């Protein structure tokens, strides 16, 4: 055993799902290594939580599965690169003081005749015990990752790697079935088939797989680096205003046309068009052909991309029922508030306080409003001139599940108005165009309400003595008890600004009838 292996012996590998010794350990750093057909990746999660906090993330494109379908053995160059990579990952895990680690190998190691020999060699050199997932298990883990990122997701998950593509059916918050197919670019290239013959070969395997995950496909969830690369090309070609990949949605007919176009493009053309790597571009035409045929065979009503997959699916295995039931967006926002706000916990108070002005918001918008309130103060260290746009970017760039692109823009725009009353510096129209006019107006109202509530008490306690409500066609703010002394010109100004966007007259009342200030002319 090497010195590195001895060091790694301090880290306990997961033996089985939910094998966590204590609640204390669940709060520590948890590492997952994904030994894939194309890449080997280490992800370190900062604890086991409903919304994953990514402490570290690194991948190396080793190409273990290149040539496996022809030779039956792992690619020798890939093995050499994987050994170096896994030694590095073992040392990094020790240095980052991870408390537990799970390593999972997928199709290439599973299919290769020397796969178990490779796993044994890695354990001897590093101490990492690699679990070889079956095809059905790989499909299950990938589908669980989608559930981690989208509560209530229903449809089929398609996770493509270098050697295989897994399909998993999800509904009712669980994985119902899963199957693996030999539809990665490496085996496709090894067939030597071209054109219609190759397309027919793909169709045969897709149709056989679809019989094992039967049912309609209300949504197809794309998981894996190949699909992310394809989405980047689609975004670039269509001038999409956001670069966020998670929950990027594409119409099936439009995506089918895009996939067919990519099949005829060269790697140089694809690299020039988008920000994908050369190695991804080389395989993308074959990946696009698989997607084109999958859309024809599976006939999904909708298609979306998920950046959550197998590694997050491993984390899902270790979540209890209560944690799985939590809202990933709200959990992520609470975590951010706890670590970055001046007065953690005030976000919930602020949301409860301003709810009277959200009566006409749809339930979806009220959920987004809570997320915005939890984030209302996390940029307080930023220079005041930049807080509006930084507020917007906080949600636009957040690595969070449970929110689509329209939701990101809604929360971001609300946070912009939390820090600014001016419309002149708003994000570019192309981004705002993802929201209709009603949603934009609601986001502005929410932002101005947060601006008033946060300023009124400086994000401290006491809002329960400041009653905000709509009464007799007026937006009324009643200050009681100790809040009465917080009245002033800034309060009047921000109350008037909020009333204006709701098209109401503002009214400030101090201690009931003791003092009443009509602000209709403000």
3-state secondary structure of 52: coil
- State residue 518's pLDDT score: 47
Q: Which of 141, 44, 120, 125 is nearest to 85 (CA)?
A: 125
Domains of the chain: 3-132 (3.30.420.40), 136-312 (3.30.420.150), 327-461 (1.10.3210.10), 462-522 (no CATH)
In this prediction the pTM is: 0.90
Instruction: State the pLDDT at residue 27.
Output: 52
The whole-number pLDDT of residue 512 equals 53
The helix-helix angle for 252-262 and 278-298 (nearest 10°) equals 140
CB 106 within 8 A of CB 35: yes
Asked if 61 contacts 46 with a C-beta cutoff of 8 angstroms, the reply is: no
pLDDT of 426 reads 82
Strand, helix or coil for residue 476: strand
Q: Given this model, what pLDDT does residue 1 score?
A: 40
The closest alpha carbon to 149, from 433, 399, 369, belongs to 399
Give the pLDDT confidence score for residue 53 in this predicted structure.
83
pLDDT of residue 318: 86
Residue 509 is inside which H or E element, if any?
A: strand 505-510
- What are the distances in angstroms from CA 497 to CA 489, 503, 504? 12, 10, 10
Cα 322 to Cα 53, 316, 326, 327: the distances in Å are 18, 12, 7, 11
For residue 415, the model assigns a pLDDT of 97
- What is residue 4's predicted lDDT score, i.e. its pLDDT? 44
DSSP state at residue 466 = E
- What Rg, from alpha-carbon coordinates, does the chain have? 26
The residue among 237, 297, 245 whose CA lies nearest residue 269 is 237
Q: What is the pLDDT along the chain (522 residues), one digit of tens a residue?
A: 444 444 444 444 443 333 444 444 445 788 999 999 999 999 999 877 788 888 999 999 999 999 998 999 999 999 999 999 999 999 999 999 998 899 999 999 999 999 999 999 999 999 999 999 999 999 999 999 999 999 889 999 999 999 999 999 999 999 999 999 999 999 999 999 999 999 999 999 999 999 999 999 999 999 999 999 999 999 999 999 999 999 999 999 999 999 999 999 999 999 999 989 998 999 999 999 999 999 999 999 999 999 999 999 999 998 888 889 899 999 999 999 999 999 999 999 999 999 999 999 999 999 999 999 999 999 999 999 999 999 999 999 888 899 999 999 999 999 999 999 888 778 888 999 999 999 999 999 999 999 999 999 888 888 989 999 999 989 999 999 888 888 889 999 999 999 999 999 999 999 755 444 444 433
């Amino acid at each position: 055993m090497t010195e590195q292996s001895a060091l790694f012996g301090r880290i306990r590998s997961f033996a089985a799902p939910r094998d966590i010794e204590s609640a204390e350990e669940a709060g520590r750093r948890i590492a997952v290594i994904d030994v894939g057909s194309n890449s080997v990746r280490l992800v370190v999660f900062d604890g086991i939580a409903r919304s994953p906090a990514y402490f570290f993330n690194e991948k190396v494109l080793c190409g273990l599965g290149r040539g496996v379908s022809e030779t039956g053995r792992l690619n020798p160059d890939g093995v050499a690169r994987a050994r170096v990579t896994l030694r590095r990952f073992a040392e990094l895990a020790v240095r980052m003081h991870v408390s537990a680690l799970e390593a999972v190998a997928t199709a290439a190691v599973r299919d290769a005749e020397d796969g178990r020999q490779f796993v044994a060699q890695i354990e001897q050199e590093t101490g990492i015990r690699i679990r070889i997932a079956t095809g059905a298990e790989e499909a299950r883990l990938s589908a669980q990752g989608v559930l981690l990122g989208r509560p209530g997701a229903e449809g089929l998950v398609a996770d493509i790697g270098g050697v295989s593509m897994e399909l998993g059916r999800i509904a009712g918050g669980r994985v119902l079935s899963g199957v693996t197919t030999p539809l990665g670019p490496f085996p496709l290239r090894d067939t030597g088939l071209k054109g219609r013959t190759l397309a027919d070969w793909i169709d045969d395997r897709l149709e056989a797989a679809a019989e094992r995950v039967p049912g309609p496909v209300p949504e197809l969830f794309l998981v894996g680096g190949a699909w992310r690369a394809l989405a980047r090309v689609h975004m670039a070609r269509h001038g999409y205003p956001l670069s966020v990949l998670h929950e990027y949605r594409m119409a099936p007919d439009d995506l089918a046309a895009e996939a067919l176009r990519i099949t005829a493009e060269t790697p140089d053309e694809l690299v020039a068009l988008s920000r994908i790597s050369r190695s991804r571009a080389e395989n993308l035409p074959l990946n696009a052909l698989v997607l084109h045929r999958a859309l024809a065979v599976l006939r999904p009503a909708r298609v979306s991309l998920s950046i959550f997959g197998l590694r997050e699916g491993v984390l899902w295995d270790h979540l209890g029922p209560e944690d799985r039931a939590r809202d990933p967006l709200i959990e992520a926002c609470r975590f951010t508030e706890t670590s970055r706000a001046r007065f953690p916990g005030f976000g919930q108070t602020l949301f409860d306080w301003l709810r009277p002005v959200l009566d006409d918001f749809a339930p979806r918008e009220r959920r987004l409003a809570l997320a915005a309130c939890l984030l209302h103060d996390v940029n307080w260290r930023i220079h005041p001139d930049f807080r509006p746009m930084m507020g917007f970017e906080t949600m636009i760039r957040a690595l969070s599940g449970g929110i689509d692109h329209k939701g990101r823009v809604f929360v971001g725009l609300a946070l912009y108005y939390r820090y600014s009353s001016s419309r002149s510096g708003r994000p570019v129209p192309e981004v705002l165009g993802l929201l209709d006019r009603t949603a934009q107006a609601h986001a502005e109202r929410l932002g101005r309400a947060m601006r008033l509530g946060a300023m009124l008490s400086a994000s401290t306690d006491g809002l329960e003595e400041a009653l905000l409500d709509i009464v007799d066609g007026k937006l009324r703010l009643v200050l009681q008890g100790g809040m009465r002394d917080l009245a002033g010109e800034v309060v009047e100004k921000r109350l008037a600004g909020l009333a204006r966007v709701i098209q109401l007259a503002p009214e400030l009342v101090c201690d009931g009838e003791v003092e009443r200030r009509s602000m209709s002319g403000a």
